[in-house]
Structure formats: structure tokens, C-alpha cells
A and B are shown apart, each in its own frame.
Chain A
Amino acid sequence: MQSSKENPGQDGAPHSAGSLITPRSDFIAAFGWIAFGIVVAIDSWKMDRLQNQDVPPYAVPGLLPFFLGLAIVFFGTLMLARAWRQGALAKGAIQTAGMSMAERKRFLIVLSLCLTFAIVLVGYGLPFWLAAAIFVSATIFVLQYPQRHAANQVVRGIALSILIGLCTGFGVTLLFQELFLVRLP
């Protein structure tokens, strides 16, 4: 976690050129929050009032969620107003930098690997230690491939990642299942 302290903007919202937090991004996000808050409030209002159980109106299940929906709409509106005052819609307003190509590529690779392990491999017949070993080995190899390729150590990289993967698979199973009797997926 970073310890950087950005300079706060006029109303205390931090933003800087080229960063992910800009008045424009806050402006767009505010619409999302307001829409979400409205949906929550409407859904809460339409909830069963349990009148057949003689529940008084101030004890209905939708009471707090309704107010939470309104609160989210309120704070979203505050954020919208603040972003507008900070020039979100002005010409030349600071654009959100977003992820770089390399970062986006790595993120998608990592996300795909993690989702494949957690949704496809786990809980559908494969022993957990094997699923974990495959995931860890594949992830380490894929992430370290550029450096290994540049250093001409691809085979060494494959061997090490398989070793670490197998150690992880066996180690986690031994620790959780055998030692601490925790059921694994």
C-alpha cells in the first residue's frame, strides 16, 4: 500500500494530471453511484411490507436499505457537483490515464489465470493439490517468462515453477487438511 500523500484539490479531493483520479472520472462515477442508489431505493420501497404479519411500517425489512439508497444518491450528487465545479466538463479537462498496455496485459493474464483456477479447476473433480500446483506453476512461468527468455533460462524457469507449484499444492494441503483438519474444496 502506498504512503504517498497527493495534494488535495479545492474541496479536498485529490487529483493530479495523468492519474486515475480526475474530476472527469469522478463525474462519470457519480452517475453510476446515483443510478445504483436509485435502484436500491426503489427496490427497497417495493419490498413486501409484511402487513399480513402485523409488522408496523417503521419495522419493515426495506427501511434501512431505502435510506441507504437515498444516502448513496445524496453522496453521489455531492461528488457530481464537486467534480463539475472542479471543471470535469471544461475543455481540456484532465483525462484519466488508465492502465498502460503492459499493465492491462498483465492484469488480464493474471485475472484469467486466477478465475480459471477458482472457477474451473477447483471443486469440479480435480484434487485440490493438483489444481493448486497447476495454477501456481502456470502463473509463475507466465509472469517470469519475459525475464527467463531474455536470460536464456526458459527450461530452468519451467523446472522451478513446477517445483514451486508442487510444493505449494502439497504444502497447502498438508497444512490445512492434514494438520489443521480444514476441509478443502
Chain B
Amino acid sequence: MLDGLVSLGHAYLALLLSPTSLALGLAGALTGILVGCMPGLSATLCISLLTTLTVKLPANDAILILVCSYVGTLYGGSRSAILLNIPGTAANAASCADGHALALRGEAGRAIGIATSGAFCGTFFGVVCLAAFTPTLAKVALSFGAQEFFWLALFGVTMSGTLVGNDPIKGWLMGAFGLFVAQIGQEGIYAYDRFTFGLPALSGGIALIPALIGAFGFAEVLTRLADPMERKLVEMRDSIRPRFREVAQHWRTVLRSGAIGVLTGLMPGVGEDSGAWMSYAAAKATTKEPELFGKGSIDGLMAAETGDMSSIPGHMIPMLALGVPGSAPSAVLMAAIIIHGIQPGPMMMVEHPQFAYDMVAMTTLATVCILIFGLYLVRPLLYVLRVKHSVLMPIIFVMSVVGSYATAWRLFDVYSMLAVGVGAFFLRRRGYQMAPFVLGLVLGNLLDKSLRRGLVLTDGSMIPFFTRPICTGFALVTIFTMLLYVPAFNRVVHRFADTVINPLKSLVTRRG
């Protein structure tokens, strides 16, 4: 533990004593906030584009910019949620109802102050958990074998399909489709070309960053420009101040939402919006004034923003310790870390032990940046919200083409981006979510190699896949999650919940 504290101290000192690093962190956070403010531009797109921009920088500087932009984007989305009633990113959707209601009754500044203070506290809570849990989880993961990684990858895709969006069947279909797309190209064990149809360009497979830029960038460009509606901005009449007194008044909500955010972040495949919605639901279930939720509840807004932001470090924990990203933005972050020569996973604490603590320091800097920019850059950010889609989206598309090309200098990657983007545009309109597809794409190779290696080790037997202790746990949760969708099984579970769990819940829930 002492070694960990020393490493953490080194990381903070290295960051604080480097003016260049501080400047890069501020620039990354500001870029993230600007992107997050603009509805339709996601954290995934922001990190993807910045990954190509920073590919020539030293590893720590590049990752610092990406981490700060990740935090900044998710925070910036609360701005448009409050002022436009459109979430800047999907994770800010839970802030829309209460944030915009406060804005409509002339308290936009108060809403932004609460969102900023809650976001600061939530991210800081998550940073503490990141520092505490990452080394421990990595140590546990050293005992993971191929079978455990197989179930971890399958669990991540299944959970993503189940929890993202309204339709688990479509979520699982997208997860399976993403896993399939990851199989295209030369496979990792025998270098055999799969589904390349004789095309040399396909031997390298469909690269992750161009696919993400297509799914979250080009698809969004097409969506925004096909629908010309622009919403009216609520005017800000009151001032923005830090609302730490209100944070102190709602300390239970902050702590609970922070914990929920981190826990949802730990689950691979579950996005930041789940952290926000679960925190919001928990706050509504335990508040004395549930009727205020959706109509300008401070508790609701605080819960949503705290849960949303604390899930960011939460997603980084499995990404660093297990090499399994917790969400689409953390998947891109992981790809960027790999590009810079560091392999996340259990061996990271052996080969690059300092890096996990560097990430803690970077996330702390990002937390401070969102507080500074959030409180003191309010009016300039309003101008960003006024930029028309007809001007912004073509610029985004130009950067998307550059971003797709720059990783491997292949025009084929640009064409992949176009194909994925057009496909994602139509799929999203039919209710298919992109997050399970992204998780499938990221975890496909891990799933494939783990399955085949595991079977080779057990001489073709599937029994160890179900009898090893950690595998049993993952297998039970994965299968249980899918069986919940079977109506008969669902009825049995609900009957059990009504008989056993709900009476227990009413004992611990406090209402006025």
C-alpha cells in the first residue's frame, strides 16, 4: 500500500510541476466541454478525433489530453441538457428533465452551478475509487485464465445489449454483429484470413477508430442534417456560483450516486448513462419529495450528474485492470493507450505500474478543470450552443475523414467509416443502439482467442468454462440476464422479488 501511495505522489508531482502538462490538460478539458456542449457530438467521437490528433505526442501527454477531454465532454453535455433540453451526450439525458425545468423558471445559473458542483464531487469520488481498486483488481485478474476472459468478454457484450436502449433483443443482435465484424480480417492465432473475400485491404480488418467515428460521427452528421430543427436556447438570468452548500445538504445523494456510478462503471459494457439513470432512480426512490422529480428537483439533478461523472473513473477501472473497457468512450481510450505502447490488462501493473497512478492524477486534473471552466466560462460557452448544425456538421465530417485516415494512412479506413456511418444512421432510426456494437468490436478478438485457447488447454472440453469459480459467477449472471427476457422466467423472478425482496426494501427505504 505504501508503494502505491508513493507512486501516486510521484504521479501528482510530475503533473503539477510540468506547465506543459497542465496546459495540455486544460486544453483537453476545454475541448471536451466545447464538444460536449454541442448536442450530437459524443465523448466517443471527441476522443476518437483527438486520438489521431495526438498520435505523435509522448504517451503521457496524449493520454492526458484524452482523459481530460473525456471528463470535459460528459460534463459539457449537461450545459445543453439544461439550456436546450437536449442532452449533449447520452449520459446527460437524466439531467434534462430537472435541469431544464429549473432553467425555465429562471434558475439556469443555479442548475448549472449544481451540475458543476455535483460533477466535481462525483468525478472526485470516482478518482478515489480508481486509485483504490485498480491495483487490487489487476492483482486478482492475474489469476484469470482464458476461460475467465471468455466469460468476461461475453458478459460485457450481453450486459451492454441488455441495459443500453429499450430493446434487449436488438441490443444482443448489435452485440453479436459487432463481435462478427471484429472477426473480419486475419485472425490472431493462425493468421488465417476470415471473411476477406480475397480483398487485401480487408486482411487488416475493420479498424476500431474509423468504425467508431463512422458510428458516432458520420451517423450523427447525417441525422442532424437530415432533421433541420433547431431548439430555442433558454436565456440565463441568474448567476452561476459553486453550490457546495447544496452538495453538503444532499450529501447522502452525492455519496450514493457516486457509489452507484462507480459500480455501474465497473460493469463492462454499461455506459455512463446507466450510471446517471440508476443514480436518478435511486434518489427518486429514497427522497421525501418524489413528486418534484422531473419538475426541477435539486436532488434529481445532483444525482444524475454525480452518477454520470463518477462512472467515468468507474469505466477506467476494468479498462486498466482487465483490458475490458466499460463503455464506448473508454474503449477508444483503451485503443489510444495501446497505440502509445501500453497494453491495459493484468500485466499493466507489472510492466507499467506507474501508469495506473498517472491516470489517477490525470483524472484529478480533469476534475479541477471542469470546475474552473464550468463556473468561469459560462457566457462564452453559450455562443457555442448557438452555432448552427449546417455550419458545424460539415466541419465535423472533415475532421472525421482526417481522423479515420490518420491512424493507419489508409483510404480504406475512410471508406469503412462511411459504410459504418450509413449503416449506423439507418439502424439507429430502427431502434438499434451502437454501444453494444462497439463493445462487440472491441471484445471480439479477446472472445475469439480466449475461446480457442481455453478449449486447447482443456483438450476440447467445455466443462472448465462452467466449473471454474469466477467463470461460474460470470456464466450465471450472463445466462440469468438473458433468461430474464423469457416471460415465464421473468414471472418467477418477479414473484420472488414481490415475496422476499420488496418487503426488505420497504424496511430500509425512508419516506416522509
Contacts and interface: CB of A to CB of B under 8 A. Distances in A.
Contacts of A113: 394
A55 to B, nearest CB: 7
A166 interface: no
B456 A180 contact: no
B431 A64 contact: no
B56 interface: yes
B93 A3 contact: yes
A139 B411 contact: no
B395 interface: yes
B70 to A, nearest CB: 17
Contacts of B94: 3
B415 interface: yes
A117 interface: yes
Interface of A is mostly: helix
A185 B177 CA distance: 30
Interface string B385-397: 0001011011101
A89 interface: no
Interface in B438-483: 447-448, 451-452, 455-456, 460
Given A13-B166, A55-B190, A176 B406 contact: yes
Contacts of B173: 33, 72, 75-76, 79
A47 B448 CA distance: 15
B170 A79 contact: yes
A58 B456 contact: yes
Interface stretch (B223-231, B312-320, B375-383, B493-501): B223-231
Contacts of A55: 190
Interface stretch (B47-55, B199-207, B342-350): B47-55
Contact of B405 (A1, A136, A185): A185
Nearest to B451: A64
Contact of B55 (A20, A64, A102, A182): A182
Nearest to B187: A61
B452 A106 contact: no
B59 interface: no
A25 B430 CA distance: 8
Contacts of A5: 166
Interface string A121-149: 01100001000100110011001100000
Contact of B418 (A8, A26, A115): A115
Contacts of B415: 118-119
Contacts of A132: 398
A42 interface: no
Nearest to A7: B166
A164 interface: yes
A180 B56 contact: yes
Given A55-B190, A79-B169, A140 B176 contact: no
A59 B455 CA distance: 7
Nearest to B186: A61
Q: Which residue among B394, B405, B460 has the maximum number of chain A CB atoms within 10 Å of its CB?
A: B394
B390 A143 contact: yes
Given A106-B226, A185-B405, A114 B218 contact: yes
Q: Contact residue range for chain A?
A: 35 or more
B453 to A, nearest CB: 8
B398 A99 contact: no
Interface in A1-28: 1-3, 5-6, 8, 11-14, 20-21, 25-26
A65 interface: yes
B398 A50 contact: no
Interface string B28-60: 000000000001101000000000111111000
Contact of B399 (A69, A75, A82, A172): A172
Interface in B194-230: 194-195, 218, 221-222, 225-228
Interface in B214-264: 218, 221-222, 225-228
A82 B167 CA distance: 12
A181 interface: yes
Contacts of B172: 71, 75
A139 B394 contact: yes
Nearest to A65: B183
A21 B414 contact: no
B93 A1 contact: yes
Given A13-B167, A114-B418, A185-B414, A62 B194 contact: yes
A160 B185 CA distance: 45
Contact of B189 (A6, A59, A117): A59
A35 interface: no
Nearest to B184: A65
A75 B81 CA distance: 35
A183 B409 contact: yes
Contact of A40 (B97, B180, B228): B180
B280 to A, nearest CB: 11
Contacts of B336: none
A59 B452 contact: yes
Contacts of B177: 72
Contacts of B417: 118
Nearest to A161: B391
Interface string A164-185: 1000100010011000111111
B222 A110 contact: yes
Nearest to B432: A29
Interface in B420-439: 422, 429-431
Given A25-B430, A58-B460, A115-B418, A47 B166 contact: no
Contact of B190 (A14, A53, A185): A53
Contact of A71 (B86, B176, B192, B388): B176
B512 interface: no
A12 B485 contact: yes
6 contacts: A3-B87, A47-B194, A68-B183, A114-B221, A123-B414, A184-B406
6 nearest CB pairs, A to B: A3-B93, A143-B390, A58-B455, A139-B394, A107-B226, A58-B460
